[in-house]
A and B are shown apart, each in its own frame.
Chain A
Amino acid sequence: MSVSRNQASARSEARPLLEGTRLAMRYEFVGARDGSDTEAPYVHSTPALVETSLGVSAGEIVAIVGANGCGKSTLLRALAQVAVGPGVAGEVRIDGLAVAREQAARVRAFVPQTPDVTADFTAREVVRLGRFARGRDDAAVDRALAAVGLSARAHRKVDTLSGGERQRVAVARALAQVDGAERPVLLLDEPFRGIDPGEVARIVAALGAIATSGAVILSLHDPGLARVVATRAMIMRAGRVLFDGPTREVLTAATLTEAYQHPMVECADWLAPEIAGKGTMAACSTV
């Protein structure tokens, strides 16, 4: 597998487990026209994702990396088929089949960037909601809670948990959703936000277990973590995939400098932003 610019079009593996074809999304909002002196309302139509096609095979853990607003979340939402509206286009196939979102929920789970629950559920009850498509399975719920280290807090109300714990509840709900699927697909948008390193390691192990038979695609802000977690990386910018390939080859100082439009420095096994006049962050100060 080699690094390719633009799209993962040159892949030669057997049929991908998850395929997105010509995925696109536009956001519309009303505001003043750029460069105009008048304040007359003007409908802006901004492409958040520009006709993107990709395929992810079983066994892969794919990290999507890029600056804020580059389209990572939009791509994941498109693959999860949760985006609705006139600006949404493209087709998603799982195991070669274009199935409705409701059917796809049996094998594909998604954790959005900001999980939420407005009812007074316990952690366990939220995780159990993940079994909506596949049917009740208390053992699957227990396994999912253990995978994120929340077994001991399973009966706590979600709104009494910390931010990181709530995030883990959302990940556990997704794990429970695909528990029992032959070839599961897991889509996670910034899944480690607010989670301590020990628990990150625990969840990474769970994702590895999913990837033995299925595929995991996750967005990450930290390219260093992406190097450790993922087997393949995509770098996005302005709604397009700029680079795609094996993690070590894609996530380099040069590609990330282009992605973030800011000098990046490679130090040991990590990548760090260069801070004007001060070298890099502490860990890389000797580089």
Chain B
Amino acid sequence: MNSRGFVLLAAVLFLAVLLRILIGPVSGDEGTRLVFAVPSAEIFGLRVMSVASAAVVGATLGLSGLALQTLLRNPLASPFVLGISSGAGFGVACVLVLGYLFAWGRVPWATETLGAVFGASLALLIVSRFGRGGDGHNPITLVLAGVILGSIFSAGSVLLEHLVPHGLRGDLLSWMSGRLPEIPNATHLATVAGLAVIAGTSLARSARALDVSMLSDDEARSSGVNLAQLRGKLFWTGGILAGVAVAYAGPIGFVGLVGPHLARRVLGPHHALLVPGAALAGATLLVAADAVRQVIDLGSGRLPVGVLTALAGGPAFLWLLRRGAIR
């Protein structure tokens, strides 16, 4: 087992956690300033919850990205790039707008999550269908289909936003850019974490079959892997995890793409290591992004974490393209 790789990822996560807990704004006579210090017990508790929130969402996105990359045999697959996050966002927007129009009152989070999972699965079905060419999925067509689909779903979400009053519209807009909740809801967080653990365990139990599925379909089938069953598992894992992550924090880009790649670089190609590794790398990336956004003060509140992941992950995506990750 590549223990050094795990130690490296865990060390970076530990540093990011430390940074996130120790850095924070303090209001005084001279206005608000950033302080690097041990916080009070109350603040400490809130920050620990924020760290947990970022870690869980990051791990969920990392696992979702790994499931999609393995499913489509495409290193560029991820919930964001394939338009699945946008589909999930559209699903949530639909539920919220329906709730407003039919005066249902506050829509329960579980209903939002169902909307997100439905939207994510719909997007995955569509992009998978359009990205298929010849004897499998064509990476270029798949990514192009994902980009177009993401644009369509995003436009649909904006359209829906205009059906609701300003207050709710502002909330939706902020959520659509990918925002970790300032004060996380413990029940919601536990739900996301529970689903991630179940999905991660399920993937880890299929680690050897996932390795064999990296061969051609004919070789994998003749080696004894039930590809249809395995791909069904990957499809639902990728879709459901992307859906719950979006329902919780909005569409946060590129963590699902870069997390699995980071894990592959430090741990190698075996899924027995990649499954926990992608979760760890995803958690590390999002906690680090959340820590970095604490020190960026533009005078109008903290940036949504999705803006930072896009700013860092976009170039990473281009680097992968340049490096020839598409085969």
Chain A positions within 8 Å of B, measured between CB atoms, are: 77, 80-82, 84, 101-106, 108-112, 114-121, 125-126, 129-130, 132-133, 170, 173, 177, 187
Interface string of B208-233 (1 = CB under 8 A from A): 11011011111101111110100000
Apart from the given pairs A84-B228, A121-B269, 6 other A-B contacts in the complex at a CB distance below 8 Å: A102-B226, A109-B222, A112-B218, A117-B214, A119-B214, A173-B219
Is the CB of B73 closer than 8 A to any CB of chain A?
yes
Please tell me if the beta carbons of B218 and A118 are within 8 angstroms of each other in the complex.
no
Known contacts A120-B269, A129-B212; A105/B222 CB under 8 A: yes
Residue numbers in B under 8 Å from A82 (CB-CB): 217-218, 221-222
Residue numbers in A under 8 Å from B218 (CB-CB): 77, 80, 82, 110, 112
Q: How far is the CB of A135 from chain B (nearest CB, A)?
A: 10
Q: Most chain-A CB neighbours within 10 Å: which of B209, B216, B219?
A: B219
Q: Whole-angstrom distance between the alpha carbons of A103 and B226 in the complex? A: 11
Is the CB of B47 closer than 8 A to any CB of chain A?
no
Residue numbers in B under 8 Å from A125 (CB-CB): 269-270
Which residue of B has the minimal Cβ distance to A189?
B218
Q: Most chain-A CB neighbours within 10 Å: which of B221, B228, B264?
A: B221
Please tell me if the beta carbons of B216 and A119 are within 8 angstroms of each other in the complex.
no
Please tell me if the beta carbons of B219 and A132 are within 8 angstroms of each other in the complex.
no
Q: Whole-angstrom distance between the alpha carbons of A133 and B209 in the complex? A: 10
Which residue of A has the minimal Cβ distance to B229?
A102
Known contacts A112-B216, A115-B216; A133/B224 CB under 8 A: yes
Known contacts A118-B327, A121-B214; A170/B219 CB under 8 A: yes
Residue numbers in A under 8 Å from B39 (CB-CB): none
Contact partner of B211 among A101, A129, A187, CB < 8 A? A129
From 254 to 292 in chain B, residues with beta carbon under 8 angstroms from any chain A beta carbon are 264, 268-270
Q: Whole-angstrom distance between the alpha carbons of A115 and B218 in the complex? A: 8
What are 16 A-to-B residue pairs whose CB atoms are below 8 Å? Answer: A82-B221, A101-B224, A104-B224, A105-B222, A112-B216, A114-B216, A115-B219, A116-B215, A116-B219, A118-B327, A125-B269, A126-B215, A129-B215, A132-B224, A173-B215, A173-B219
Residue numbers in B under 8 Å from A106 (CB-CB): 224
Chain B positions within 8 Å of A, measured between CB atoms, are: 73, 208-209, 211-212, 214-219, 221-226, 228, 264, 268-270, 327
Q: How far is the CB of A19 from chain B (nearest CB, A)?
A: 17
Known contacts A120-B264, A132-B208, A132-B209; A115/B215 CB under 8 A: yes
Q: Whole-angstrom distance between the alpha carbons of A187 and B214 in the complex? A: 20
Which residue of A has the minimal Cβ distance to B217?
A82
Q: How far is the CB of A101 from chain B (nearest CB, A)?
A: 6
Number of A-B pairs, beta carbon distance below 8 Å: 78
Residue numbers in B under 8 Å from A108 (CB-CB): 222
Residue numbers in A under 8 Å from B269 (CB-CB): 119-121, 125
Residue numbers in B under 8 Å from A117 (CB-CB): 214-216
Residue numbers in A under 8 Å from B212 (CB-CB): 129, 132
Which residue of A has the minimal Cβ distance to B74?
A118
Residue numbers in A under 8 Å from B209 (CB-CB): 132
Q: Most chain-B CB neighbours within 10 Å: which of A82, A112, A118, A170?
A: A118
Known contacts A118-B73, A119-B269; A130/B223 CB under 8 A: yes
Contact partner of A116 among B216, B221, B264, B270, CB < 8 A? B216
Q: Whole-angstrom distance between the alpha carbons of A143 and B48 in the complex? A: 53
Q: Most chain-A CB neighbours within 10 Å: which of B209, B212, B223, B268?
A: B223
Known contacts A80-B222, A132-B209, A132-B224; A120/B268 CB under 8 A: yes
Residue numbers in A under 8 Å from B224 (CB-CB): 101-106, 132-133
Q: Most chain-A CB neighbours within 10 Å: which of B216, B225, B264?
A: B216
Q: Whole-angstrom distance between the alpha carbons of A203 and B327 in the complex? A: 29
Q: Whole-angstrom distance between the alpha carbons of A163 and B211 in the complex? A: 22
Q: Whole-angstrom distance between the alpha carbons of A111 and B216 in the complex? A: 10
Q: Whole-angstrom distance between the alpha carbons of A195 and B264 in the complex? A: 31
Residue numbers in B under 8 Å from A126 (CB-CB): 215
Residue numbers in B under 8 Å from A110 (CB-CB): 218-219, 222
Q: Whole-angstrom distance between the alpha carbons of A81 and B217 in the complex? A: 12
Residue numbers in A under 8 Å from B223 (CB-CB): 105, 109, 129-130, 132-133, 173, 177
Q: How far is the CB of A118 from chain B (nearest CB, A)?
A: 5
Q: Whole-angstrom distance between the alpha carbons of A218 and B269 in the complex? A: 31
Which residue of B has the minimal Cβ distance to A103?
B224
Which residue of A has the minimal Cβ distance to B221?
A82
Q: Most chain-A CB neighbours within 10 Å: which of B221, B222, B223, B269?
A: B222
Residue numbers in A under 8 Å from B208 (CB-CB): 132
